[in-house]
C-alpha cells in the first residue's frame, strides 16, 4: 500500500458513515484551516448528468484563454489525483500526500466524512492562488453538500436533472421534485445557467424552485441556444451574438447541451475574458475520461480486434436514455456489458436498451464491495432475450459473438469504467 492509500484509509475511518449530509463538520474544519473558501473565484456545477462534460469543456476553453483553473470533481475514475486539479494540472503524488497529511493533522481526529475532508483539502491548496478560477462539482445533491460552503460565487451551472441517489432520501421523498429542491434551493445569488433538460416539466420545476433567487437566470432556449448543423459544425447563440463552432471532441450530439452550457457560463461571467477563438479551439481539445469514451488501443481492445470498444460511466435512468439514443444513431449491432452498484435502479437503467441490443452480459465490478454481483444482476433483470453472466470483463469481451462492424459497450458504473481503463 503506497503512502496516499495509507492516508486515505485513515481518512475513511474518521466517520462511521461514508455519507452524512451536513455542513457543520466541513465548516468547522475550514475555520481551523483559516477559511480557505473565502474570496475564491468559484463556479459551482450541480445536476444529475453532464456535470463532468460541462466542467471539462470549461476547463479546455479556459486553458486556451491561458486562464489558470483549479477543478474539484468526484468520483475519480483511475486515481484520486484526478479530483485535485491546480493551475490546469493534476496534482502530483508528492503534493497530494503533503496536502492530505496537513489537512488530517489540522482536523486532529474530529469526525468528518471522507468527501468532506477531501473538499477541505482541495480548498486549502486552492486558497494559495486566489486569482485562479475554481470549478467545483457538487457531490450528492447540493443543499448539504460539502461544496456548498461559499458565501458568494461567480456562477452556478445546473446540468440535466433526473432521478438518482434516491436511497439517500426518506422513502416517501424519492421524487424528482425533491431532487430538484435539494440541488437548486440553496444556489447562491450570482448567475445561474440552466442547461437543456430532459423535458419541459423538469425545466418548469427548476424555474419554480428558483423563483425567489435573485440571480440572473440564463435558461437554455431563453437566453442561449444551440442547434446542430451538417458539415461538422453547430450554431451557438446568446445575448452577445451567434457563433459557428466545430463539433466538440466528445462522442454524441447530446454533448452539445453540456458544451453550450459551458460556453454560456463563461460568456456570462464578467471576470472571465474568453473570445470566439478560445471557444473554437478549446472545444476541439476536450478530454472526458470514462464518459462515452472510445478505447482505441490497449489490452482489452486487442481482445475484440477491429470491432469498436466504448466505455461509458452512465448509471441512472437518464444516463441510460442518453446512451441508448446515441447508440441508436449508429448503424451496427451493439453488445452491452454491464456492471452496477447495488444502490442503483438496475431495471430502470437497462430498460433503455430492451430490443435495441444484440446481447447483454452482466459482470462483477472488481474491488467494489458495494456493487451488485453480476450473477444476481442477471437474475434480477427482465426483458432481454440474450443475457449472460461472466465474472470478469476479459471473459465478457472474449465471449461476445462479434461480427464485422459490431460494437461492444461497457457501461453501468463510473467505478466499472475505471476498472476497464486500469485493465486496458
Reported confidence tier of residue 173, pLDDT bands at 50, 70, 90: low
C-alpha cell at 88: 490546469
Mean of pLDDT values over 169-174: 64
Do 135 and 42 share a structural domain?
Answer: yes
Average pLDDT score over the chain: 92
Handedness of CA 289, 292, 293, 299 (dihedral sign): positive
Q: What pLDDT, in 10s, does the model give residues 242-277?
A: 999 999 988 888 899 999 999 999 999 999 999 999
Question: Is 156 within 8 Å of 143 (Cβ atoms)?
Answer: no
Alpha-carbon span 244 to 317, nearest angstrom: 32
Do 399 and 337 share a structural domain?
Answer: yes
Tell me which of 283, 312, 329 is where a domain ends. Answer: 283
316 is in which domain, residue-wise? 293-423
pTM passes above 0.85: yes
Do 376 and 405 share a structural domain?
Answer: yes
Side-chain-side CA neighbours of residue 32 (13 Å):
17
Question: Is 219 within 8 Å of 194 (Cβ atoms)?
Answer: yes
With a CB cutoff of 8 Å and minimum separation 6, the contacts of 212 are none
How long, in residues, is the chain? 424
Alpha-carbon span 302 to 210, nearest angstrom: 50
| Residue 290, H or E segment | none
Helix locations, 12-144, DSSP H: 24-32, 51-64, 93-107, 114-126
The number of domains in the chain is 2
Residue 288 lies in a domain: no
Q: What pLDDT, in 10s, does the model give residues 187-203?
A: 999 999 999 998 999 99
Q: What pLDDT, in 10s, does the model give residues 285-298?
A: 999 888 889 999 99
Whether residue 301 is predicted with pLDDT greater than 60 in this model: the reply is yes
Alpha-carbon span 275 to 63, nearest angstrom: 12
Mean of pLDDT values over 220-242: 92
Tell me which of 283, 313, 333 is where a domain ends. Answer: 283
CATH of the domain at 36: 3.40.1190.10
Helix locations, 228-310, DSSP H: 255-267, 276-283, 299-303
Q: Which of 2, 201, 193, 204 is nearest to 92 (CA)?
A: 2
C-alpha cell at 142: 447540493
Residue 24 lies in a domain: yes
Alpha-carbon span 147 to 282, nearest angstrom: 26
Do 63 and 149 share a structural domain?
Answer: yes
Amino acid at each position: 500500500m503506497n503512502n496516499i492509500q495509507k492516508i486515505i484509509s485513515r481518512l475513511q475511518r474518521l466517520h462511521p458513515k461514508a455519507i452524512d449530509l451536513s455542513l457543520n463538520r466541513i465548516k468547522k474544519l475550514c475555520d481551523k484551516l483559516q477559511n480557505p473558501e473565502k474570496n475564491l473565484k468559484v463556479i459551482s456545477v450541480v445536476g444529475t448528468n453532464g456535470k463532468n462534460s460541462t466542467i471539462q469543456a470549461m476547463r479546455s476553453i479556459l486553458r486556451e484563454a491561458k486562464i489558470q483553473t483549479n477543478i474539484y470533481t468526484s468520483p475519480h475514475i483511475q486515481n484520486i489525483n484526478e479530483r485535485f486539479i491546480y493551475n490546469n494540472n493534476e496534482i502530483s503524488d508528492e503534493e497530494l500526500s503533503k496536502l492530505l497529511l496537513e489537512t488530517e493533522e489540522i482536523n486532529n481526529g474530529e469526525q468528518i466524512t471522507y468527501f468532506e475532508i477531501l473538499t477541505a483539502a482541495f480548498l486549502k491548496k486552492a486558497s494559495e492562488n486566489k486569482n485562479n478560477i475554481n470549478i467545483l462539482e457538487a457531490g450528492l445533491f447540493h443543499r448539504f453538500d460539502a461544496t456548498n460552503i461559499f458565501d458568494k460565487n461567480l456562477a452556478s451551472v445546473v446540468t440535466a436533472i433526473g432521478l438518482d441517489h434516491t436511497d439517500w432520501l426518506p422513502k416517501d421523498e424519492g421524487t424528482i421534485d425533491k431532487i430538484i429542491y435539494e440541488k437548486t434551493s440553496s444556489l447562491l445569488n450570482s448567475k445561474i445557467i440552466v442547461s437543456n433538460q430532459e423535458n419541459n416539466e423538469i425545466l418548469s420545476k427548476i424555474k419554480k424552485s428558483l423563483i425567489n433567487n435573485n440571480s440572473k437566470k440564463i435558461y437554455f432556449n431563453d437566453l442561449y441556444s444551440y442547434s446542430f448543423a451538417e458539415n461538422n459544425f453547430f450554431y451557438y447563440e446568446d445575448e452577445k451574438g451567434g457563433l459557428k463552432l466545430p463539433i466538440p471532441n466528445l462522442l454524441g450530439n447530446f454533448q452539445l447541451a453540456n458544451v453550450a452550457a459551458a460556453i454560456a457560463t463563461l460568456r456570462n461571467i464578467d471576470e472571465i475574458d474568453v473570445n470566439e477563438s478560445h471557444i473554437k479551439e478549446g472545444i476541439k481539445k476536450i478530454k472526458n475520461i470514462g464518459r462515452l469514451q472510445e478505447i482505441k488501443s490497449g489490452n482489452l481492445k486487442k481482445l475484440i480486434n477491429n470491432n469498436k470498444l466504448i466505455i461509458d460511466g452512465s448509471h441512472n435512468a437518464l444516463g441510460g436514455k442518453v446512451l441508448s439514443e446515441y447508440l441508436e444513431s449508429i448503424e451496427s449491432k451493439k453488445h452491452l456489458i454491464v456492471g452496477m452498484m447495488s444502490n442503483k435502479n438496475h431495471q430502470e437503467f437497462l430498460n433503455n436498451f430492451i430490443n435495441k441490443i444484440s446481447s447483454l452480459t452482466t459482470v462483477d465490478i472488481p474491488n467494489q464491495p458495494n456493487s451488485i454481483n453480476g450473477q444476481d444482476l442477471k437474475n434480477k433483470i427482465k426483458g432481454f432475450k440474450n443475457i449472460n453472466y461472466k465474472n470478469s470483463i476479459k471473459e465478457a469481451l472474449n465471449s461476445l459473438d462479434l461480427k464485422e462492424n459490431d460494437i461492444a459497450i461497457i457501461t453501468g458504473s463510473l467505478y466499472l469504467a475505471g476498472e476497464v481503463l486500469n485493465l486496458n
